[in-house]
Structure 1
Amino acid sequence: MRVDLFDFDLPAERIALRPARPRDAARLLVVDEGGMADHVVAELPAMLRPGDMLVFNDTRVIPAQLEGLRGEARIGATLHKRTGLRTWQAFLRNARRVRVGETIDFGHGVSATALDKAADGSVLLAFDGDEPVELLLERAGRMPLPPYIAQKRATDAADAEDYQTMFADAPGAVAAPTAALHFTPQLLAALDAAGIAHATLTLHVGAGTFLPVKAEDTDDHRMHAEWGRIDAATADRLNAVRSGGGRLIAVGTTSLRLLESAAGEDGIIRPFEGDTSIFITPGYRFRAIDGLMTNFHLPRSTLFMLVSALMGRERMQAAYAHAIESGYRFYSYGDSSLLMP
């Protein structure tokens, strides 16, 4: 399909630079067969049915943004995907000033050597020394805010908490699974009381999620790979919900992509561990999920293509037009939608 079919105009003032407080005070646009309705996230228990299950991503964002020097050249690095105990693919700012074999000094006793340059423009970095890389990043790194926020303001102390979900447990993401940022312990307790269960899986979100689609046709876009895991016990719980007549609602496109990667043609979700580069566009037949809670996405992005595949492109264009007209806040720190096909 033509990528320009997924374009829309978004006024800059609709991009949220801070989250709603409290988190579950964010607005929630419900889109289903009945049309569109405006709510707030705290009302979610009334939007679902007893026996339904919400599926969250428990990945934890690491301080994956680094600033350093190669000689006198300033180099910025955003870690993208872990490839080994001490190696990460990274997108570099000023990458032309770094050749294979050269070392970048990130300060605080942290340095890394460029091992290779990939076709997508990323660089394979090997962190020097024998300290765990996690400790090195805690010393030298900072929270990797999305580019559309980082271009407008600096990262600060509040982001260390704001850009982490209440489910964050497994370190490894370089971007938050932002749909879950709206949840609070109080909201989770209300969902439990309403008979709505929840489960977690792990997908380490990579910086590739922010890469623009440069191709003119979706068939020519190469999707980034991300590592995920669903264990056997979780797969059994998920399958039991659907076999019992409940619905699986993915909280975030990351949860959805992993669930769909783990499901067979029969709709059964199987244990999964490894990379997925699933690219969902209109025409895709969903196998694992019955609904999606997700924030509002960038024009021409793979994620707007995904929600268009779930709900229909024209319906999502109409929903986004309504959201823009009604003052919804967009992107990572913005408001949310509940999409029930």
Structure 2
Amino acid sequence: MSSSPDFESLSTYDYELPPELIAQHPLPERDASRMLVIHRSTGMIEHRFIKELPLFLKPHDLIVVNNSKVVPARLQGVRASTGGKWEGLFLGVTTSGEWQIIGQTRGRLVAGEWITIPVPATHIENAASRQNSDLQLQLIERGEGGIWKASPQSEISTWDLLEQYGSMPLPPYIHRDDEEAEDRVRYQTIFSGPQGSVAAPTAGLHFTPALRDRCAASGAKFAEVTLHVGMGTFRPVSSERIAEHQMHTETCELSEDVAQKIRSTKSEGGRVLAIGTTSARTLESAARKVGVGLPWQGETNLFLRPPCEFLQVEALLTNFHVPKSTLLMLVCAMAGYDLTMQAYKEAVEQRYRFLSYGDCMLIL
């Protein structure tokens, strides 16, 4: 008789991911992705397509998506003092209007120095109606975690500057020298609204307007929450004992309108289906902070891992995640460890596409 896994050991969540299964580009059509379906009640695993999602929905189900919009947060420039290359990632804006940036370059950055950021070559043809000069960015102060406060020398709004000078912040496992035109569209969900993420809520990437309408025609309703995905989503777990891992913090919001839909769904016998781990974390954070079916907004560093109980989420659609990641741990908590690892084994054998531009898994 085999012993039960040690859920607090990082190695428990390891599996072999062949590099060639990491999707480097999206499929030609969003809704062409494959969908592995886990039935928790029976342990059955099915191999389907995302187009078939409406077949698994019931009247009164509530589909909860994350509507956060990805910011073109990747910046590339030159240090005025040395001429050396600099690359940065925009993280947010302080209450005083300064940018928060993490950057990398050869040598040591110092407060007060200037970075010159040109319009990326891929944007030149669209730049006629914009600010056509290089952007000058001054580094003000280095803070905790290597995050710099910086001041752009422009009267143009932050979001417009990023649209002009920034590129989509593709994950480090997608190997591209430069942003491609398709990424501006395909690394954004059809639900995107409020700006603020530096990574896409990837489960939502599979939806098209037609698929959304077919889900609604099945009797399911949609609701939108907001969680702005931070750079911490890619930070690996470095401690072998998971309890020592410091979970990253992200801002999120669940409105009264969404809370009302959750209450109605549960009273009518429907299920709450979270589209992606970010939607799940928002729903579960709210449930733990204020209760099920109640509005909430704030910061969360909720770490969902085995063994934990989900208070508000009853089904989950999510992409396939990297080994030893907090996202894989969340899936194990939702679907059960053994069933999750069996599903991942089958996904590798069946040559599913993994990670952000890859296929998905439906947990029922």
TM range (shorter): over 0.9
CA distance in structure 2 between the partners assigned to 1:266 and 1:226 by the alignment:
17
Task: Name 1:18's counterpart in structure 2.
Answer: 25
CA distance in structure 2 between the partners assigned to 1:132 and 1:319 by the alignment:
46
CA distance in structure 1 between the partners assigned to 2:134 and 2:62 by the alignment:
46
Superposed, 1:36-47 pairs within 5 Å as 36-47=45-56
- Mean alpha-carbon deviation: is it higher for 112-121 or for 214-223? 112-121
Task: Name 1:102's counterpart in structure 2.
Answer: 113
TM norm structure 2: 0.88
Task: Name 2:169's counterpart in structure 1.
Answer: 144
Shift of the alpha carbon at 1:197?
A: 0.9
- TM superposition outliers: structure 1 runs of 4+ over 4 Å: none
Structure 1 residues 271 and 96: alpha-carbon distance in aligned structure 2, compared to 1, 3 A threshold: farther
CA distance in structure 1 between the partners assigned to 2:293 and 2:205 by the alignment:
25
Q: Who wins on radius of gyration, i.e. which is larger?
A: 2
Alignment size in residue pairs = 339
Shift of the alpha carbon at 1:142?
A: 0.8
Task: Name 1:89's counterpart in structure 2.
Answer: 100
Structure 1 residues 68 and 9: alpha-carbon distance in aligned structure 2, compared to 1, 3 A threshold: same
1:132 to 144, 154, 157: 157
Contact kept? 2:259, 2:293, Cα under 8 Å: yes
Query: Tell me, which stretches of 5 or more residues in structure 1 are unaligned?
Result: none
Superposed, 1:163-178 pairs within 5 Å as 163-178=187-202
Query: Tell me, which stretches of 5 or more residues in structure 2 are unaligned?
Result: 1-7, 119-132
CA distance in structure 2 between the partners assigned to 1:266 and 1:142 by the alignment:
38
Residue 337 of structure 2 corresponds to residue 320 of structure 1: no
1:255 to 267, 273, 279: 279
Task: Give the aligned residue type for 1:169.
Answer: G
Residue 83 of structure 2 corresponds to residue 58 of structure 1: no
Contact kept? 2:84, 2:106, Cα under 8 Å: no
Task: Give the aligned residue type for 1:209.
Answer: T
SS at match of 2:260: helix
Structure 1 residues 123 and 186: alpha-carbon distance in aligned structure 2, compared to 1, 3 A threshold: same
Task: Give the aligned residue type for 1:97.
Answer: R
Structure 1 residues 284 and 119: alpha-carbon distance in aligned structure 2, compared to 1, 3 A threshold: farther
Structure 1 residues 86 and 265: alpha-carbon distance in aligned structure 2, compared to 1, 3 A threshold: closer
CA distance in structure 1 between the partners assigned to 2:138 and 2:311 by the alignment:
43
Task: Name 1:6's counterpart in structure 2.
Answer: 13
SS at match of 1:282: coil
Task: Give the aligned residue type for 1:125.
Answer: A
TM norm structure 1: 0.94
Shift of the alpha carbon at 1:180?
A: 0.6
Shift of the alpha carbon at 1:153?
A: 5.3
Task: Name 1:222's counterpart in structure 2.
Answer: 246
